[in-house]
Structures are given as structure tokens and as C-alpha cells.
Structure 1
Amino acid sequence: MASLTPRLSSPSLALGDTYGSLLIGNILAAWLYGFSTLQTYIYYDRSRGDSWILKGLVGILWTLDTLHTILISHVVYTFAITDYGNVLSLAKPQWSFIVQGVVSSIGDIIVRGVFCYRIWTLSHSNLVITGLNIICSVAVLCQDIILWVHGVSPPPYISFDIVYAWLPYSTLATSLVADALIAATMALLLARSQSHFRKINNVVRTLIMHRVSTGAIAALWVLAFLITYAALPQSFVFVAFKFTASKLLLNSLLAMLNSRHLLREQLLAPEANVLPSAADTRFKSLGARNPKDSEIIQQTRPLRVITGGSAGDSSSV
């Protein structure tokens, strides 16, 4: 979505629909950048056990997010200060507007790639499930590349807008499907991870609610992006959603990574009791009401007793 620009037909534009939308988008982007910076710090403070590859990817994503925020500020400054009053400047994309789209697209494909790897792990290397998510993510990138080429191509832009008028809508719709599919897939895979242990099930339910909520927010934001672009083509209202869509996706990933620490503490919290289902015992009825007349079938499993001290103060029998 590198070169989505408003289709202007009149030199008279309302300030609220143009400069106001740019300013609101810049403020929201800076706000979300603050969240991503805080979450990045928290991640590195707690991720001592993660691989260097994942740590490196998080660092790259934060760097791209920083560059994206700087470019957005340059876009707003150029339109609102340098070219203020020059309506024609709004009709053509500035270089920083194009580059920020490229940067956000690169960040998006990395974030979706990490999610797809997580799906690969949760699905026990299921090629069909993982492949479907990868195809949707790559489809978004391919359409973004076409928009990049359009953005850096010399005028006129009219031929592109006529022949490929459907492409911006297709790109946004594909992005919406990709984000929704990733969230739904991870939620379903986590739901299949239910066990006999109540505490583990509570953690799984927390993960499902977290992934669904964050994924839904990112998907609904892209939907709002698509609706405003289609309904208000001659304004900059959609830009407020464009500037922040990739930042919501990044914060969703960082929130998922950082939640592992809290959930691990919840799972290993000391309790002065015995975890349920030490041995899965089932009574297979032989037609008698007395339990003594029933056949006991036991599936022996280790009995883990948490004594109430540290997580390591446990024993198995």
C-alpha cells in the first residue's frame, strides 16, 4: 500500500479532510510508536531464552518502525508547512509518502512471517495450514510491490488509475484476509491444545482471547482503512488509518511475545495442592451399580506435586 493517494478533482479541499487527517494520523502513529518502543524494551529485558534470530528480527522491526515514524512526520511537515496552500502538491505523492509505504510493507511481511512460523510450530509442521497463511501474506507483498512501482514511476498516473483502479482495493482486502486468517488460525490451534490440567487450560484460554482481540483490532483497522478509501476518495481521511495500520500489527506481535513471560509465571505459580488428574482413572461399567463391580482402567501418568515453594520444589511419582 505504498502509493495510495487521494484522487483529487477539485482545488478546493476542506482542511479537516486533508491537513487535519494527516495531523491525526501522525499523532496516532507517534502514540503507537511509543507503545512499540516500550514493548521492545520489555521484550529484550525478558527474552533471554529466545534465539538470536528472533531477537534480531525484533530489533529490525523496531528500527523500521522508527524510520516509518520519521517519514510520516516528514510527510505531514511537507504537506502542512512546506507546501501549505499548494493544493496541487496533494495530488502527487511525495517521496517520503512513497518510502514510508515501502518501509511499512517490509515490516508487515516480517511480522506476518513470524506469525506464520508460530502457526507452523503450533500446527506441528502442517504444510496446508501454514502454506495458506503464507500465500495470503505474500499476495499482499506482491500487490504492494506493484504500488511501489506506480509510486516511483514518472507521470502521468492516469493510465494506471484507469487500468489498475481495482488494485488498491484488492491490496487492502487481501491484507484484511491475511490478518484475520492468522488470528483465526492461531486461535483454533491454541483451542486444540486443551489438556486435563485446569491451570494449563486457563493459560490457553488467555492466549486465545489475547490473539483474537489483537488480531481483530488489526483486521478491523484495515477494514476501516478500506472503507474510508472507497467512500472518501477525494480526501485524506484514510491516511490516518494508513499511517497506523502497520504499527498496530507490530504491537500485536510484541504483545504476544511479551505475554509469554506473564503466562509462564501464571503457569508456574506456587500452589499448596496437587494438580488434578494425576492418573486418568476411568470406570468401565459392567452393568453393576456398585463401583466394586466395575473394571478400573488406569492410564498412569507422573504425579506432580507442587509443595508451595519455588517452581522447582516439585516431585514426580
Structure 2
Amino acid sequence: MASFNSHTTLGAYELGVLASFILFGVTTTQVYIYYTRFPHDSSTVKFLVAFVWACEMAHAICIGATLYSMTVVDFGRPELLLLIPRSLATAVIFSGIVGACVQVFFAYRIYGVSNSLYIPCLSWFLSFCRLLGSIMGCVYGFTTKTIPEYEVEWAWLLNSLWSVAAGNDLLIAGTLVYWLYRRRPEGDQRTVALIDKLVAWTMETGVVTSAAGLLTLICFVTMKSNYIWIAFFVVVARLYSNSLLASLNSRATLRALVHKTDVYIQNEIRTQSGTFALALPQSHAESDTGAIC
């Protein structure tokens, strides 16, 4: 490999793994916060969080094993970097599982807000296609010997996989924003504040995950001679898990916002009437928050 460039191969992958490990630490912290703050959540959501974290742990082990193989086991033999490590191929399926689970969760939120199954069913179908594509990508990673061969032979699969994932993210984010805005005129001051916050968070998470997928696709199409696209790929799964945990943990912030808004309304009514104050029970505020979230 006379043209071997360690910066765009080993260096790119190593930076991607380091960033992925940092985000995995953030995910683990958020999981701890979730189980501490919301012990009364349904067993289904608790299982989803545990399952996603377990898949993230397996994904981290796989990409870490790949890095060790590239930098230690195959040290001084750059020609071996062309081979597809089995651990890297295995990481593909864990990344697909995490992304599909998170998209299914947010698609179910669409159903909760809209009471319509059309968009959720479409999103669930796209999530299934993504999971199926990840399984195929893993299998073909075991049967294909080198990364250049994989990039040529299965480019259509990777292009489809990332395009479907990014499109589903945008579909979910756009639909949630649409239905939340439709409910905005129906609410009082407290509900409007909650919806505005949810809209901002939905747009942020949807844009981040879809942009990461599109960036991976662009790097794969334009820079197949290096591993920059692989570096982005090992980070994408962390963005999905962190968006899920951030969404669940944000309920504490939303409830605090409800309380703050209630206090503001009470003060406004006291100022205007001098005698009457509106008091809402805490349970009512929490139920509103849970319904919107």
C-alpha cells in the first residue's frame, strides 16, 4: 500500500471511536438519570431503555475490538486494513437495532399526538426496512473479504440504508412538529409554552440524526478511498440513543416549566384582581406534560 495514509484511515477511525465512546458515557449517564427520576414509568419503556443501552454497549465493544485489531494486532501491516474485521461487521447490526428502536418509539409518539396510524405505520415500515438492511449489511460484511470490495458490491445497500434512515428521521420530526403546532392554538399559556419547547427539541433531535446519516452517506459516496465514512458511522448510533434518553429525561424540565408557568399565571391574576389566584393541582400539571410528551 504505497499510497497508505494513516490520517484518513487509522486516524479517522480512531477519532470516530473516541467520539463514540464519549457519547456512550453520556448515554450511560442519561440512563442512570432516567431510572433515578422516573421509577414509576411503564415496564415497556424501562425495558426499551435497558435494551437500547445493552445494544449500545455491544456496539461499543465491537468498534473497540476493531480499533484494537487495526492498531495493535495488525500493527505495521497496513495492507491488512483492507480486510473487514468481523467485529466491525457485527457493529452494523447493533447500530441498526438502536436506530430502528428509537424511530419506532418516536413514531408511536406521533400516534399519541395525532390518534392516526397512517404516518406511524409508514415510519414503522421504514424502520423495519432499516433493520433488515442492517442485518443484510452485517451478513455481507462476513462474506465479503475486503472493504473496497464491499464498497463496490454493496454500495446500493449502504446508500439505501442511510437514505431511508435520514428520510424517516425527517418524516418523524416534521410530523411531530406539525401535530404539535396544530394543538398549539387549543392550549392555554402553560400548554403553549410546553408545545414550543417540544417543537424546538423535536426539530433539534430530528435534524441532528438525519444530518449525521446524510453526512455519512456523502462521505461514503465522495471519499471511498479512506475511512472517514466509517468514522461517522460508528457515531450515528450514539446520537439516536442520546435523543431517546434526552426526550425521556426532559420531562423533568417540562414539569418544572409547567410549575414556573403556573406560578406566573397566579401572580398575574393576583396583580390584576388583587383577591383571586388560580391554583392548579400538581397532578394536573404532570398529566398535561405526560399527554403532550
- Work out whether the TM-score is over 0.5: yes
1:246 is the counterpart of 2:219: no
Residues 178/313 of structure 1: CA separation in 2 closer, same or farther (3 Å cut): closer
Question: Equivalents in 1 of 2:67, 2:168: separation in Å?
Answer: 29
Matches within 5 A, 1:292-307: 305-306=278-279
| Bigger fraction of residues in strand | 1
Q: CA deviation at 1:49?
A: 2.9
TM-score (norm 2): 0.86
Q: CA deviation at 1:312?
A: 6.7
Q: What secondary structure sits across from 1:305 in the alignment?
A: coil
In structure 2, what is the equivalent of residue 166 of structure 1?
156
Q: What secondary structure sits across from 1:64 in the alignment?
A: helix
In structure 1, what is the equivalent of residue 179 of structure 2?
189
Question: Equivalents in 2 of 1:169, 1:312: separation in Å?
Answer: 48
Matches within 5 A, 1:110-189: 110-124=101-115, 126-153=116-143, 155=145, 164-189=154-179
Q: CA deviation at 1:87?
A: 2.5
Question: Equivalents in 2 of 1:159, 1:312: separation in Å?
Answer: 59
Question: Equivalents in 2 of 1:209, 1:162: separation in Å?
Answer: 40
Q: CA deviation at 1:158?
A: 8.5
Residues 273/98 of structure 1: CA separation in 2 closer, same or farther (3 Å cut): closer
Q: Percent identity?
A: 27
1:34 is the counterpart of 2:25: yes
Residues 122/312 of structure 1: CA separation in 2 closer, same or farther (3 Å cut): closer
Count residues in correspondence.
277
Contact 2:84 2:145 (C-alpha < 8 Å) held by counterparts: no
**Structure having the higher Rg:** 1
Structure 1, unpaired ranges of 5+ = 1-9, 278-302
Q: What secondary structure sits across from 1:219 in the alignment?
A: helix
Contact 1:306 1:313 (C-alpha < 8 Å) held by counterparts: no
In structure 2, what is the equivalent of residue 3 of structure 1?
none
Question: Equivalents in 2 of 1:40, 1:14: separation in Å?
Answer: 38
Structure 2, unpaired ranges of 5+ = 270-275, 286-293
Residues 133/243 of structure 1: CA separation in 2 closer, same or farther (3 Å cut): same
Q: What letter is aligned with 1:226?
A: L
Contact 2:84 2:144 (C-alpha < 8 Å) held by counterparts: no
Q: CA deviation at 1:155?
A: 4.6
Picking from 228, 247, 256, the partner of 1:237 is 228
Residues 305/156 of structure 1: CA separation in 2 closer, same or farther (3 Å cut): closer
TM-score (norm 1): 0.80
Picking from 246, 251, 257, the partner of 1:255 is 246
